[in-house]
Amino acid sequence: MFTINLFTSSLLDTHALGNYNYPMHNTSSKFLKIEIMFLFAVTIVAVTSFFYGEALPDNLYSISSENASVNIISYYFSSLLASIGYYVGPWIVAPFFIFSLSYAFVYSKRESPVDCLNALTLTLVSLSAFYIFAPEMLGSGLLYIVKNYVSDFSLGSTLVLGSFAFLFGTFRGSFKDFCIKTLYWSKQGPLVTFQFVQGLGLLSKSKMMSEKIKALPGMLKRELPQTLKGEQVSSSPVRRLRPNPVIEKVEPEEIQEVRAEPVRESSYEATAQEMAFEDIEEVQMPQSSKASAKTRKSQTTSNQNYYDIVSQISHKKNANPGRAPNDDYFADIKIRVEEKLKEFNVEAEVINVLKGPVVDTFELKLGAGVRVSKIKNAEDDLSMALMGAAIRVVYPMIGRDTVGIEVPRNPRDIIYLDEVLSTKDFNNSKFHLPVAMGKNAFGDTMVVDLAAMPHMLVAGATGAGKSVFINTLLVSLLVKRSPEQMKLILIDPKQLELALYAKLPHLIMPVITDAKMASVSMLWAVQEMERRYSILKELGVRNIEGFNEKLERATPDVLAAIHQYYDNEPGDDYSLPYIVIIVDEFADLILTKAGKEIENSICRLAAKARAAGIHLVLATQRPSVDVITGLIKSNFPTRVSFKVTTDTDSRTILNTNGAEKLLGKGDMLYKAGTNIVRVHSSYVDENEIEALTDKISEEIGTNFHTAAMDFLENGGEKEADPYSFGSHISSMEGTDDAALYEQAVKLVIETQAASASFLQRRLKIGYNRAARLIEEMESQGVVGPQEGAKRRKVLASSPSA
């Protein structure tokens, strides 16, 4: 009885801990708890009655006796215990333990009313099993009822069907997969047994010797990279498993979507139902032609599974409100424009109207000798003639000999992201990092390649649509690129805009919200860029595209040459995915104490990271010269400007006016090189983003980069490895640590101020070094611990204390 109480208390403690991660407040959870408590009570009574039933005072003699120590209340209580034991029995212990464990580890972590029925099916299954195999565990009354009123066929059916019902209700998907695998093996069992026996019986000693001789070159190729790395190599032969041939129909579009890439030091993985034994032979290098084909097929399947997950997300489609303007609307604008120009003696005629979703472009044919500057100077007067509409004069129009006047449409159409993602321009694009920008002024879909930009600067006032554009950019990349093909670093100082992407498997590290951590993450990106440049140099290629192409046909000698650069990389893949770094509010970072470090890292990445496959997207709502410096502008040839407040801000971003006259809500000017195009960004709802990210994270899960996480935890400094390359060279920085510590202690005691930033300024050292000095002082008792926002207390009175 003590054991049962202890088990129950541990289950309740387990559930209490589980409630923190899996809160359940519905009726089904309460009903499950009631079922457990009921089974527990019945179990206690049945076990007590089984062991002490004969000693219970349940007869008239024991009550009427003068020596009896019982009364009428204890008599009826003991009679109730005996009755429950008579009609139940100790068999009830089994369903109680099984149901309690199922609740603690399965039911409490989900919300399903169907789980309440599992107690009934488990009880019926246990009753049938104990009656068939151990009938003495049933109470006498229950045994009599089952024996005389229930047939053997009913008991057998209850045992089989109830077991399936309980297992399916408890494990569901995994139990279904187990049944499918069992059915498959029941069909394939004779064939697999025949192949296994044939593989063992037909191998003679001479054949085994010849196979070993033939496999000798492959063994040497396999051991070469491991020997260079200093690993122990096993000389025993390895059994290779061969998958059963499966004929799959692969569409051409699917082949274009996925790039096959080899992996390093990993054997071919397959599920149990797809495997069959092959003749024993030495496994060749994964980069050999046969193994590479298997690896490419495996990665192709993995990426295709990712695209299947993404395609299951149903995007919300909304009809555009209102109706399109009629011909009278355009005729009225044409007349107003021509009449206003005649007032200034400008000979011009509107010859065509290019209709778009947000603005309509009126093509103006100028008369002989009319300068374009006259139209530009009359821009404000034309706006007044059109009731103050924010018009924009466009010249030159590529491929045309006319001047365009962009007039806002009323009502404007809403461009949803799903419309752009479903177009052929996006689905059939060959871009490495396709971004669905939206539609241009003429209603044509615009898709660009982030890898070709290679970096993007986004600016705009509050409410202009900058954050929505960042969301459309991220969704475009997530739809087309799997975690094996693209990685993300997201920096969000506002802590709100990019929170929806916190669980993506594409993330290298968690979403950064602190300026100091942003500086460290940028420093890691710089080091990753340098590492990739070393790899590209070793392989003799100029960019990441050429590297991944050459990697598919790389020989073991080539892989051994670059093997040294993958010691700290997770997984077994030599390929280099694209890395996209997105900073949502750049101004909040550049104006902090770590702003100079962040700016230096960004400039280094912008200048060199394109060939390494690292691309930056910086967004800010403060496009001033102290935020977007000349050094940053020179390294960001691609710029996007949403509506800004002044023409000065427009010139800061685009080097020309025009962004101050945009309409807002996604209306932007896209500058690639020297050309400026007006584009209307598409809109994506937060519910759609949440559905997409939840589905991806649920199917794949978050997997941060281990080395990057260690780099962040160490504050941007790697732990020293005494056996690493170059460890014999003395460090100039660490030779005067003792003297620096004494100087810092003396300074803290004299000024009675202790903080890392204070030491950083006075001693002219880095922040990480100053923080280590403060921690050392705390451990030596020189200063007290940190107390929230208060300053540390200086405990020592002299440097020798």
Q: Is 350:297 a contact under the CB 8 Å cutoff?
A: no
- pLDDT confidence of 364, banded at 50, 70, 90? very high
Q: Please say whether the dihedral angle defined by the alpha carbons of residues 711, 714, 716 and 718, taken in this order, is positive or negative.
A: negative
- Verify cis geometry, omega within 30 degrees of 0, for the bond prior to 396: yes
Bridge partner list, 456: 617, 638
Is the pLDDT at 519 greater than 50? The verdict is yes
Q: How many helices (H) and strands (E) does the chain have?
A: 30, 15
**Is-above-0.75 flag for pTM?**
no
Q: What angle do CA 609, 614, 617 make, to 5 degrees?
A: 105
The SS3 assignment for 106 reads coil
Is the pLDDT at 138 greater than 70? The verdict is yes
Q: What is the reported pLDDT for 351?
A: 92
Is the pLDDT at 72 greater than 60? The verdict is yes
- Establish how many alpha carbons lie within 13 A of residue 584's alpha carbon, considering only the half-sphere containing its beta carbon: 25
- pLDDT confidence of 259, banded at 50, 70, 90? very low
- pLDDT confidence of 508, banded at 50, 70, 90? very high
The tokens 């400007």 sit on which residue? 641
- What are the tens digits of pLDDT across the range 264-303? 443 333 333 333 333 333 333 444 444 444 444 455 556 6
Q: Is 668:662 a contact under the CB 8 Å cutoff?
A: yes
Q: What does each C-alpha distance from 764 to 517, 732, 791 come to in angstroms? A: 21, 16, 21
Euclidean distance between CA atoms 1 and 40, whole angstroms: 11
For the CA atoms of 757, 763, 765, 767, the dihedral, rounded to the nearest 10 degrees, stands at -10
Q: Please say whether the dihedral angle defined by the alpha carbons of residues 560, 566, 567 and 572, taken in this order, is positive or negative.
A: negative
Among 137-141, 548-552, 603-607, the range of highest mean pLDDT: 603-607
- pLDDT confidence of 46, banded at 50, 70, 90? confident
Q: What is the reported pLDDT for 574?
A: 83
Q: Is 796:752 a contact under the CB 8 Å cutoff?
A: no
Q: What is the reported pLDDT for 173?
A: 64
Across the chain, what does the average pLDDT equal?
76
Burial (CB < 10 A; 0-12, 13-18, 19+), residue 741, is: middle
- pLDDT confidence of 43, banded at 50, 70, 90? confident
- pLDDT confidence of 35, banded at 50, 70, 90? confident
Q: Which residues of 629-639 are buried (b: 16+ CB within 10 A; e: fewer)?
A: eeebbebbbbb
- What are the tens digits of pLDDT across the range 99-128? 888 888 887 777 777 778 888 888 888 888
Contacts of 269 (CB under 8 A, 6+ apart): 298
Element (H, E) at 446: strand 445-449
| Residue 325: φ, ψ to 5° | -65, 150
Q: Is 488:678 a contact under the CB 8 Å cutoff?
A: no
Q: What angle do CA 109, 112, 116 make, to 5 degrees?
A: 100
Is the pLDDT at 83 greater than 90? The verdict is no
Task: Bin 18: left if φ > 0, else alpha if -120 < ψ < 50, else beta.
Answer: alpha
Q: What is the reported pLDDT for 89?
A: 82
Q: What is the reported pLDDT for 530?
A: 92
Angle, helix 466-480 to helix 686-699, in steps of 10 degrees = 30
The SS3 assignment for 567 reads coil
Euclidean distance between CA atoms 479 and 183, whole angstroms: 36
The SS3 assignment for 401 reads coil
Kindly state the tokens that stand for 405: 């006047």
CB atoms closer than 10 angstroms to residue 296: 17
Euclidean distance between CA atoms 628 and 622, whole angstroms: 9
More confident residue, 511 or 48: 511
Question: Which of 193-197, 333-337, 669-673, 746-750 has the weakest average pLDDT?
Answer: 193-197
Closest CA to 373 of 342, 336, 408, 403: 403
Bridge partner list, 275: 243
Q: Is 408:358 a contact under the CB 8 Å cutoff?
A: yes
Residues of the chain with pLDDT > 90: what percent?
A: 23
The SS3 assignment for 641 reads strand
Query: What count of residues does the chain have?
Result: 801
More confident residue, 15 or 318: 318
Euclidean distance between CA atoms 146 and 136, whole angstroms: 13
- Establish how many alpha carbons lie within 13 A of residue 645's alpha carbon, considering only the half-sphere containing its beta carbon: 7
Euclidean distance between CA atoms 787 and 784, whole angstroms: 9
Is the pLDDT at 435 greater than 70? The verdict is yes
- What are the tens digits of pLDDT across the range 199-213? 444 444 444 545 544
Closest CA to 282 of 348, 339, 221: 221
- The residue type at 464: A
DSSP code of residue 212: H
Closest CA to 662 of 470, 469, 463: 463
Bridge partner list, 487: 579
Q: Domains in the chain, start-ordered, CATH in brackets?
A: 2-171 (no CATH), 327-408 (3.30.980.40), 417-707 (3.40.50.300), 735-801 (1.10.10.10)
Is the pLDDT at 240 greater than 50? The verdict is no
- What are the tens digits of pLDDT across the range 290-301? 444 444 445 555
Euclidean distance between CA atoms 31 and 41, whole angstroms: 15
